[in-house]
Each structure stands twice: as structure tokens, then as C-alpha cells.
Amino acid sequence: MSTLIEIRTAFVNKSGRTDLVLNTTSYQDNGANFYIQAGQRLLDTMIPNPKSIGRYIKDIAAGDYKLMMSYLRSVESVWIKSSSSPREELEMKPQSWLLEEYGDSITNSSQGIPRYWSPLTSVLSPEQKDLTALTYSTQFTRDYEDIVFGSTRYQKEGITFRPVSDGAYTLTVFAHFFSLLSADADVSWHSETYPELLIMAANLCLEAFYRNSTGVQDWLQAMQLFLKGIDHDMARTEMVAAGNQLRG
């Protein structure tokens, strides 16, 4: 059991909620994915697993100063590599430091090899949410380069880096990402390694939407048995990496 459709089939059969698929022949989604995806996001945020951290790798060109990523939760580190130099880690700085150090105009900023990065604040306030790339100048004419306009502004998170790139490099972002379970063939670490835990999490979310606090607590208690084991495995790995060993 690993793919979304396999998880959906088991979730529907074990919960008895056959109304959440169109039929029990093809098990085409009719609402089940909502609870499975909610359960997956819950697991992503509850406890780290061996695949919690992934890499977003992207080539950048001269003039680039930011990267936008889907499903991003938090960034661990950012690295840069060129065709002629060793890989180097960028230093994290507050975005205010980047603005102060390199000025607030991307167009006028001097270019170089990126050395610093910061989590990007890319959305406007709710009052200005309807502004677009064509209309923002009705309210401001500077300091707009990092803003993401339009309906996609909440779909991606990103980083900004300085100096503005002076050429072609490859950036590697080590980060925590949400798992993607969208297409029927999609898999995640939980769906392949602990499918039963993912089904439990989906059932917990189902109970939560029906305001069944007892059901939520029952599912959470069952899930803790699995989560405790995952936590122990992660702790053991960290101890070995730190040079310690468990003795039996």
C-alpha cells in the first residue's frame, strides 16, 4: 500500500464512508482526498521523519535575486555552486539586513556572487491584496521587487539573496516541505512506510470536522504509538551522527 488511490481505498473501506468516493469499483475521489491530505499535513507537522528535509535545486542567472517554492515549510540552509568553484553555504541574515546592506532597489543594486539569504516576505497587507503588477503603482512606485502579486501569492514561499546574481549558478535549498498527495499515483514517506498511520490521521481529521472530540482523542492516542517509534528512530540516528552509540 503506497499510492494515494491505495490509501483512499483503504481509508474508505476501514471508515465505512463509501460516500467519500464515487463508487467502490474505481474508488474515484468524492471527498476522501480532503481528509487524507489534511491527515498528511498533520503528520508532516507533528514529528520529523527521515524524509522531512528535501532539496529544491534551481539554476539562477544574472539579475536573479529570489527563489519561490511550492509546499515550503521552513528552510534549513542554502548552498551555491558554479561550474568553476566549490560549493559554498550562504549565510542567513534578516531581510531587513539585506535591504540595509544592499539598498532597497534591485535594479540599482550591484551584482556579485550571492553570499547571504533570508526568508522572503513577499505578500502585501490585506488592505492592498487586490493590487496587481499593473496597478501597484497607483499606491507605491518603489520597493516592489520582492512582492508577489495576484492569486498565487499564498501558493509559494521563498527566499531572497544578495548580492543580486552576477551570472549562472546553481542554488540548493535544504528545507522542510509538505508532502504532496494530489494525483492517484502520488506517494509520500508516510504512505509508503506507515500507511496505517496516514489512514489513522485521515480518520482523525474526519472526526474533527464532525466535532467528535472523543473520536479525535481516540485516534490521536492510537497514532502516538507509531509517532513514538518514529521519534525513537530519529533520536537514534541523531545520536549516531553525534558520535554516540546505544548499548544494549
pLDDT at 168 over 90: yes
pLDDT at 246 over 60: no
In the chain, pLDDT over 70 holds for what percent of residues? Answer: 94
* Band of residue 184 on the pLDDT scale cut at 50, 70, 90: very high
Average pLDDT over residues 50-54: 90
* 3-state SS assignment for residue 107: coil
Strands 53-60 and 116-119, bridge-based pairing? unpaired
Average pLDDT over residues 15-30: 96
8 A C-beta contact, residue 67 and residue 60: yes
State the chain's maximal CA–CA distance in angstroms. 69
* Band of residue 26 on the pLDDT scale cut at 50, 70, 90: very high
Average pLDDT over residues 230-240: 72
Q: Say which range, 39-48, 97-106, 170-179, 212-221, has the weakest mean pLDDT.
A: 97-106
pLDDT of residue 240: 66
Cell triple for residue 201?
Answer: 490521521
pLDDT at 153 over 50: yes
In the chain, pLDDT over 90 holds for what percent of residues? Answer: 71
- Domains of the chain by residue range: 4-50+179-233, 62-167
| Greater pLDDT, 143 or 78 | 78
Average pLDDT over residues 168-197: 96
What does the alpha-carbon distance between residue 82 and residue 80 come to, in Å, rounded to a whole number? Answer: 7
**Positive or negative: CA dihedral 147, 148, 149, 151:** negative
Cell triple for residue 49?
Answer: 521523519
**Nearby residues of 174 by Cβ (< 8 Å), 6 or more positions away:** 53, 54, 55, 75, 76, 77, 78, 79
Cell triple for residue 115?
Answer: 553570499
| Greater pLDDT, 16 or 246 | 16
The CA–CA distances, whole Å, from 24 to 16, 29, 187 equal 11, 10, 21
Q: Say which range, 19-28, 54-63, 99-108, 125-134, has the weakest mean pLDDT.
A: 99-108
* Band of residue 163 on the pLDDT scale cut at 50, 70, 90: very high
pLDDT of residue 104: 67
What does the alpha-carbon distance between residue 168 and residue 114 come to, in Å, rounded to a whole number? Answer: 11
pLDDT at 248 over 50: no
The runs of H, that is alpha helices, within 16-103 are 32-46, 95-102
pLDDT of residue 192: 95
Q: What type of residue sits at position 175?
A: A
